[in-house]
Each structure stands twice: as structure tokens, then as C-alpha cells.
Chains A and B, each alone.
Chain A
Amino acid sequence: MSEAETVTIESVEEFLVHAMELEEASYEHYEELADTMEVHNNLEVAELFRKLANYSRLHAEEVHQRAANLALPTITPWDFKWKCPSAPEAFCMDDADYLMSSTKAMEIALFNEIRGRDFYQQVADNSSSEAVKKLALEMVEEENWHVEMLREWQASMQEEQPQEDLDPPNMPE
């Protein structure tokens, strides 16, 4: 979907399928980041991503509960209505680095959470269905809470110096 198009979701069912995909992708993305940090022995950052994954899992479960008993449509993986190339909270992996600090990891997390919130906000702004607007705004509120929480967490962190790479890529300077 191009940047110029507006996100319009007009049914609660369609909205919930988007929310489910967004939250599950977020969970899987954080899990993947946690796993890869573990593989590279950056255990502190791995633990941070594991915690974030857990929040996303709980969020996904909540959406599942809301969707119980509804007949949900099937959306093909490339027909989701977000403007970014993948689910909003599972984006921008190439900023990751195996030596990254917790503060850097938190930057990635904040970037993701803000994208998620913006997606829900766009749905609320553009839907003509009151029920969809209401649900989307509830999600915005939850995501806002997430963003605030991450900001506080980030503020409580010590600014860390990037670690020295003892096995750098074999490239000429």
C-alpha cells in the first residue's frame, strides 16, 4: 500500500484481524531479537527483548479474547492495511547489532511501539464506524501507556558506551 493511501477499516472483525497480526508479529519479532541476542551472548539485551516479547504476547492474548466468538475474515499476508512494508511493530531490524546496548535496544522498541500506536490512531481517524473508532482508540490508549512506560524505563537506564568489537568484520578501514 502506498504512503498516499489512507487506512480505512470499517468493520470490527477486520480491525481485530489487523490488531491480532500486529501484536503477534510484535511478539515474534521481540522473541527473534531475544533469541539472536542470546546466540551472540548479549544476555542483558536478550532479557530485555524477552520481557518486551512477553508484553506483546499478553497484548495479543487480549485481542484474541475480544475476537472470541466473532467470525473473522481471512486477510492474505500482503493485504494488511498498514503503510509500512510489514506489521508496524515488527519493523526495522537492520538497526540491530549483536553488541548493542540496552539503551539502543530500547530505542528500537520505542520506534516499534510508536508505529503501532500511529497505526491504531490512523484507523480511529479514518474509520466511519463508531465501533471501530472506539476500539481503535482503546488500543491507542494502551499503546500510549506502553510508550510512556518504555520512556520511563529508558530514562532510568545508564547511558552505556558501545562495547568494543573484539572480532570485527575483516574489512579495510
Chain B
Amino acid sequence: MTVPALKAKDYKSGIKAVWCPGCGHFAVLSALTKAMAHLGLVKEEVAVVSGIGCSSRLPAYIDTYGFHGIHGRALAAASGLKAARPDLTVIVAGGDGDGFSIGGNHFLHACRRNMNMAYIVMDNEVYGMTKGQASPTTLPDWSNSKMTPHGTGIPSFNPAAIALAAGAGFIARGFSGEPSELTRILVEAIEHSGFAFVQVLSGCVTYRPDQKLWKEEVHPSESDLPTDDPVKAAQIIQAGDGKATGVIYAKQFPVWQPENRMDSNLNTIEKEFLL
């Protein structure tokens, strides 16, 4: 019997999203399910892992395996899962707060560890879920939070530059307002062998209504990309305005995958935990 190909909507769980109407994360969900359908992923061979935040609700809305973990630990949980189940397609998702603040250290080491997984950060330069505090990607002069009424005064974090410096082999930037292009980027990220980092500019209509302007500001990258030259990638990232979309850097590095101890079972694992 031939199984009919799945459509993007077949990858949606049917749970109604609680995001604010107009939130950019809707488009990320749609692009990801389209990418899954395009790649013909088998649902039970995929796990979507997240932390905490509005963006981290994503696994609930996708009809594959999923793990809605704890704040900042999406990559740690996903790395454990990939170590134990290398056969799974592991997709990690979350926000800029989850990934770059509390999860910043995991981000650095996931980049250099280079396990085969795609990491999507829905970057709205704010903590949406906790009512609009500044995050590491918030510009220093953004003063629309009662917590930082004069702005943070701290230079913002450049996720693509950090990923490159930390050793990631695939770095891309997408935009929720360009869902078709985002789908293409996500397909390439999932297909990349190794750690693939995708920063998605995904506006928060509630706490960052100013991001509605992104529609005019975001533009395709003008450089001849992707490059596999880290020096060229660094120059492009540093010289850019942070609003250029596309795959910036793609280079193959050895993928780290621990030897899978198939002889382990629950009893032996339990014994190892006994002091």
C-alpha cells in the first residue's frame, strides 16, 4: 500500500496556538511544517525540543514527538536525546531569551559540539512570555519596558557572529514576514549534517509593535552567499545591519555523536546512579 504524501497541515497537532494574533511565531510554525512536508519527514522519526517562552510552545503545535523542557535548556535536552537516539531528526526551537540569556552557555557549546540538529531561534528582541523585558538581542536604547525605562545601555548580542566564533557550521537568518524563503532556509538547515543555527526575526506584536517596521527593513543578503570561508562570513556578519536574510555560512565539520551503548538497559543505568 502506498502512503499518501503528508501535507504541511498534517504536521500540525490541531492544538490551538495561544500566541497573540499577529505574532511572528505563527509564520515560523507554518514554515517549519512546510519544510517537514517538503522533506517528507516521518512524524515518528522527528522530535521538536524547546525551552520556555512563547516561542518555546512550538512543539505543542506540531504532530511529531516533542519535548517542552525548562528555560534555557532546550539544547541540553536535545543533545541528550540526539546522543541516545541518533536516528531521530532533532529540531530545537525557542526564543532569544531562552537561547541567548539563560541558555547562552548551552548555545556556545552546542555550536562547537556540532551534533546533527537544527536550532531555530525566534528572535523578537524581547521576553514576550514574561511581559516584555529586554533580552540579549535588544538594542541598548530600547526604553519601552518598565524594567529598563532608559534602555539597557548594554550593546546587543550578535547571534550569527557568536555562532560563527563558537564553531557552528551552518548559520542563517530568516524572517517571519518572508515565510516562503524561511521554509527554504529551514529545509537547508534540517538537511545540513551537523549543528545548523537559524536566527528568525519573528516580531512580537504585543511588546514590540515597533517591529512591524521590519517588513520595510528586512532585505535579502546582497553578498554572494553562503560562503564556507569563516573570515568572509565574519566580515559579512559584522558589516551587516542584522536584517539581511539568507544562509550566510555553510561548512562541513566532523559531526560529534557519542558511541551508542546499545547494551545499556534501565537496570544497568539505574545501578550506575546508585552510590
Instruction: Please give the residue numbers on chain A whose beta carbons come within 8 Å of chain B beta carbons, in ascending order.
Output: 28, 32-33, 35-40, 76-78, 80, 85-86, 93-98, 100, 169-172
Contacts and interface: CB of A to CB of B under 8 A. Distances in A.
B131 A77 contact: no
B157 interface: no
Interface size class of chain B, counting residues whose CB lies under 8 Å from the partner chain: 35 or more
Contacts of B212: 94
B69 interface: no
B145 interface: yes
B135 to A, nearest CB: 15
Given A78-B180, A78-B181, A170 B146 contact: yes
Contacts of B34: 77
Contacts of A78: 180-181, 183-184
A171 B180 contact: no
Contacts of A96: 21-22, 205
A147 B110 CA distance: 51
B17 interface: yes
Main secondary structure of the interface of A (DSSP, over half): loop
A36 B17 contact: yes
Given A39-B16, A86-B179, A172-B149, A93 B21 contact: yes
A86 B180 contact: yes
A94 B24 contact: yes
A42 to B, nearest CB: 9
B9 A28 contact: yes
Nearest to A79: B180
A77 B184 CA distance: 8
A43 B242 CA distance: 39
A99 B68 CA distance: 29
B209 to A, nearest CB: 9
A77 B30 CA distance: 11
Nearest to B144: A171
Contact of B26 (A32, A98, A100, A169): A32
Interface in B175-214: 177-181, 183-184, 203, 205-207, 212
Interface string B137-151: 000000111100100
